[in-house]
Amino acid sequence: MAKQTVVITGAAAGIGRATALEFARAGYLVGAFDIDETGLAELAREIRAAGGEVSTGVLDVTDAEQWDARLAEFAEVASHRLDILVNNAGVLSSGRFEEMSLTEHRRMVDINVGGVVLGSRAAFPYLQATPGSQLVNLCSASAIYGQPELATYSATKFAIRGLTEALELEWRRHRIRVLAVWPLFVNTAMTGNLDMRTADSLGIKLTATDVAKVVVKATRRSHRMLAKVHYPVGRQAGAMMMASRFSPAWLTREINRRISHS
């Protein structure tokens, strides 16, 4: 049997890098894609030094042609097998909505939503051809209720939530499992310059490795039969997700108003 394979976007740093390392340790052939060539080279060295297998490629997730090219290249070294695609690449800008530039708003929409749409579509033929394949989207606890000072980022994660839920139903007939992983704030470079009071209230308690471990665990064979779509990361995200299911809308809104000091 050919080695199981995974493709991860935004793999040069943060959650993507930690996820690539976790899958490599689990014996997967890792396809690591990012715009950061230096970061990819460092990741590849670490994986190979530990005895793992990795193939890297420079990818701008907003470019459909690059998606097609990188996946075709990976297919050549992966025996045309794609067991898992992890749509991880994303960007975050925080602050008051009207004070942020249009460039910042557009960049989040293009990468966080457009990149996932393009990647999922480009990967579909490979996923369809691989028995037991899975699509993993990085969502966020900010998709539970719209977050002040994180409005556009939060909106992009609501879009990922909707896309995940729709594809989970739509791609069942192709036997492709679709799921989303939901961290709160993660201690990476992306959150290093957060300008929002919600983060001050809740703190930044998760590491990239915390998220990576949930991604790998969620895709294990024992979890594939559970029909679970959303996987919170950490106690805070889990509690918030659970509360949102049973709390009236006004209470969820009030909780978010208070933790964001709005």
Question: Which residues are designated catalytic?
Answer: 153
Sheet containing strand 230-232, strands side by side = 53-58, 29-34, 5-9, 84-87, 134-138, 177-182, 230-232
Can you tell me the distance from the alpha carbon of 52 to that of 24, in angstroms, rounded to the nearest whole number?
Answer: 5
Can you tell me the distance from the alpha carbon of 201 to that of 174, in angstroms, rounded to the nearest whole number?
Answer: 43
Compute φ and ψ for 55, nearest 5 degrees.
Answer: -130, 130
Evaluate the CA torsion angle 244, 186, 95, 230 in order and state its sign.
negative
Tell how strand 5-9 and strand 84-87 pair up. parallel
The helix (run of H) or strand (run of E) holding residue 99 is none
Can you tell me the distance from the alpha carbon of 126 to that of 201, in angstroms, rounded to the nearest whole number?
Answer: 43
Tell how strand 53-58 and strand 134-138 pair up. unpaired
